[in-house]
Amino acid sequence: MAREVRNIKTVQLRSLGLDERWLQDRIAEDPSLLGLGELDVIRKEKRQAAGGRIDFVMENTDDEIRYVVEIMLGQLDASHIIRTIEYWDVERQRYPSLDHRAVIVAEDITSRFFNVIRLLNRAVPVIALQLSAFELDGSVALHFIKVLDIYEETETPDDAPDGSSRADWEKRSSPESLAVMDKVVEMLAKAGVRPRVTYNKFHVALGTTGYQFAWFHPRKAAPYCPMNLRNEATERDRAIARLREVGLDAAPRSTADLRLRLTARECEEYSALITEVLQAAEAASRR
């Protein structure tokens, strides 16, 4: 039996008589709508001492990452970008032990402002989500598309660090967490691949002769080190299944990344499997 095909067009929420408060309530009910993983709402409309309110402060407790989320109906404008970054800066200074991401949500992100956000992304971890709304039989369907992620900007081998160094990370990270990162890099070297480590402000990146494919987030007071690995979606899902099979903390992140949190003991015990996953990601970065 042939499936029915329907032509559905996007609509502006305001044309349906819906406002930002309505959208905030829907996101508060189900934060997974944003497509950023399993998030907990820490505060909604959090008041800032300097004035204004943050639409949402959310947290992924597994990654210890907080998201400062600002929502705008209609077309994105410059004031919305500035406000989001200001709120992000206030929150990261208030809680320096946590990683913070600035999240901009709008129904229409024009090429002009997309380019502005992309440039800012080199200094500020900005995620841009474009909202599409559809009217279906009297109900509204919401679809958030990630048009810019903090890791989607590929870097060439000639890209230089943004001012951070190994010494900077040693000051802000626990020796145990850094040791896990070093062990992972060492695994790749032992496999016959020459690693290229880049110390950036918000992460430590790993690559070889192709694009960077791994990003570490050493912790200030933890014996583990979270990392993200990029591979093709099918290979990524296969790797997650194998890592979880032996009890490692692995999960999908965005469309092609996997999140992995390792301890020194796990690096030793599952060295062969982790090395195999690393090699697959490294090979994909050179295709």
pLDDT for the residue 63 = 66
pLDDT for the residue 215 = 92
pLDDT for the residue 268 = 94
pLDDT in tens, 88-100: 988 888 887 678 8
What is the chain's mean pLDDT, rounded?
84
Q: Which domain holds residue 33?
A: 10-148
pLDDT-derived band of residue 161, with 50, 70 and 90 as boundaries? very low
The Cα-based distances of 77 to 44, 81, 143, 150, 235 in angstroms read: 22, 7, 21, 20, 38
Within this chain, do residues 170 and 75 fall inside the same structural domain, yes or no? no
The Cα-based distances of 200 to 123, 176, 208, 215, 218 in angstroms read: 10, 19, 16, 10, 12
Residue 106 sits in a domain whose CATH number is 3.40.1350.10
Domain membership flag for residue 127:
yes
How far apart (Å, rounded) are the C-alpha atoms in residues 166 and 152?
A: 23
Inform me whether the pLDDT recorded for 200 exceeds 90. no
Residue 231 sits in a domain whose CATH number is 3.90.1150
Of 122, 148, 174, the residue that ends a domain is 148
pLDDT in tens, 3-56: 776 667 788 999 989 999 999 999 999 998 998 888 889 888 887 666 678 889
pLDDT for the residue 237 = 86
Q: Are 83 and 118 in contact (CB under 8 A)?
A: no
Within this chain, do residues 222 and 104 fall inside the same structural domain, yes or no? no
Query: What is the reported pTM?
Result: 0.56
Angle of the 271-284 helix axis to the 175-190 helix axis, nearest 10:
70
Instruction: State how many domains the chain has.
Output: 2
Closest residue by Cα to residue 269 from 230, 243, 233: 243
Average pLDDT over residues 78-107: 87
Domain membership flag for residue 116:
yes
Sheet with 204-207, edge to edge strand ranges: 196-199, 204-207, 214-216, 224-230, 257-263, 249-253
